[in-house]
Chains A and B, each alone.
Chain A
Amino acid sequence: MAEMQTRDEIFPATPNKTYALMELVKRSTPSVDRGPDDTVMSWPNLVLPVTLLAIGTTLFVFVVSLFLNAPLKEIANPDVTENPAKAPWYFLSLQELLLHMDPTLAGVIVPSIVVLALIALPYLDHARAGSGVWFDSARGMRISLIVALGTLLLVPLLVLLDVPMVKVGENLVTLRHAAFGQTLLGAIIVPLAAMILPLALLLLILWRLRATTREIALALFTVFVIAAATLTIIGVLFRGPGMQLFWPWAMPAPH
């Protein structure tokens, strides 16, 4: 047997040894998929930074808490509506969507699609290459940057297109309302088109570029992250009484 010869060559059996190499097996090392690589002892190379992070995180929260008090307004009163009544900041992107479309679409369908897409992501982009590398490649980084810039411009533009600017009788209403009113077209089809058409255009460009699955994932995730961040910033800093848009420095006091 070839293996027997190899074994005896590598580790010849000698009668004065109480141990011997029993078998050579072709398989991966305990570190999944790789041989022994560029490693150092965890003590102290990993233990020290983790300990410093623990101390640093606690110290940071402690120092902020010394100087900044958590907000506490008047006691809850169901009869006096807060104006503006804002959800916690991490839900303000959803609340912003609610201003522009049907509540089922904004509050249920869009967030459900986002969560399902996030869960499906590793099963759709399952090539092992590129794991552990920021942005996959120079091209991946370029795609992410361009998509981020585009989203950063497009999202505020779409929000501004939907502010009340048309006079109908006594009221100032949005272009969308003036054209379609509270119809299926105005509440669902037009907002849906405003979200899907730019995404479709993006996918078409990526397809023409022969983008890899990872590059498509990079582009779509960047749209999601930048859009969510932009809508959150608009909600936190730019929405005032009546959920109208104001400059942060000209924000009227809530009433």
Chain B
Amino acid sequence: MNSNGTLAKTTHFITHSRVWKSFFRHAYPDNDLDRALVMNTNFLLHLMPVKVSRHSLKATYSFGLGVISLFLFVELVITGMLLMFYYIPSIERAYSSMLDLQFSVPLGLLFRNMHRWGAHAMVLAVALHMVRVFYTGAYKPPREFNWVIGVVLLLLTLGLSFTGYLLPWDQLSFWAITVGTNIAGAAPLLGNQIRLFLLGGPEVGQAALLRFYVLHIMVLPPVLLAIVSVHLWRVRKDGGLARPEEGKS
């Protein structure tokens, strides 16, 4: 028996085994029935439809910006959880825990870098996603409300990035947040109250650091996750990605 035969036999043995079938529910999808079934029987795949329009698959239509934003968020959750094992949200220890992460924690520098650059990339990807959706007219009925959800998601992304910006507790973060919250303080009537509410005091200090930390790791990520779920569900329920009327493409 040649090696190809062995490979085919092994593959067949694995994909038809009891364990494989219990996990994937059927053999590798090599026919249209299985290709349809796999989309409905796999938890991650069920987010996608069984069939998809060719127009939606064109790279130059969507540029994959929504998918990129989603995976950047996943990457940020994972690296963020790793950073949480070392980061301490106190003005005495925050900066030294940053130094620890950079210089003595194995791979600490790498994961901090990935969290930082991933966050910048996510703000950019979400903004570009909105620009794409606008210029392709994808906010038109029946997708109006999903556009509104998208605007909320953009604001949440900015909030997540901004609250994370203070945490290193270095000069860059301290003065950026001072400038940023001063903008909020300029609001008429309630401006000062809003600033006080965000900072927990008149200046950026321990109260502000703790508030930003709790917002950054405990409040905003679950809220974003919940609203992203609705966003993706609505993409499916509104008929997938927007595409022109038949015969007009």
Contact = CB atoms under 8 A, between A and B. Distances in A.
A217 B54 CA distance: 28
Contacts of A75: 95, 169-171
A66 interface: yes
Interface stretch (A17-25, A29-37, A153-161): A29-37
A50 B244 contact: no
Contact of B68 (A41, A53, A89, A217): A53
Interface residues on B, range: 35 or more
A49 B57 contact: yes
A131 B38 contact: no
Given A61-B117, A61-B118, A119-B148, A76 B39 contact: no
Interface in A24-54: 31-35, 37-47, 49-50, 53-54
Interface stretch (B12-20, B160-168, B218-226): B160-168
Nearest to A55: B71
B51 to A, nearest CB: 4
Interface in A203-218: 214, 217-218
A65 B187 contact: no
Contacts of B238: 32
A101 B49 CA distance: 50
Given A50-B67, A75-B170, A131-B242, A88 B113 contact: no
Nearest to B164: A88
Contacts of A107: 183-184, 186-187
A89 B169 CA distance: 18
B136 A132 contact: yes
A40 B52 contact: yes
B168 A122 contact: no
Contact of B147 (A39, A71, A122, A129): A122
B75 A61 contact: yes
A144 B135 contact: yes
Given A76-B174, A82-B172, A87-B179, A70 B244 contact: no
Nearest to A57: B71
A166 B183 CA distance: 28
B29 to A, nearest CB: 5
Interface string B170-202: 111111101110111011100100000000000
B54 A122 contact: no
Interface residues on A, range: 35 or more
A184 to B, nearest CB: 14
A85 interface: yes
Interface string A99-143: 000011011100000010011011101111111111110000000
Given A128-B140, A132-B136, A69 B109 contact: yes
A49 B50 CA distance: 15
B171 A73 contact: yes
Given A38-B53, A122-B143, A115 B134 contact: no
Contact of A122 (B29, B91, B121, B141): B141
Interface string A178-206: 00000000000000000000000000000
Given A57-B75, A82-B175, A91-B162, 9 more contacts: A40-B51, A70-B112, A70-B116, A77-B174, A82-B171, A104-B188, A115-B151, A121-B134, A128-B140
Interface of B: 29, 32, 35-36, 38-39, 45, 48-55, 57, 59, 61, 64, 67-68, 71-72, 75, 91, 95, 98-99, 102, 109-110, 112-118, 120-121, 123, 127, 131, 134-145, 147-148, 151, 155, 158, 161-162, 165, 168-176, 178-180, 182-184, 186-188, 191, 203-205, 238-246, 249
17 contacts: A32-B142, A32-B238, A42-B35, A46-B49, A50-B64, A65-B116, A69-B109, A70-B113, A72-B170, A82-B172, A82-B175, A90-B123, A91-B183, A115-B151, A119-B148, A131-B143, A134-B135
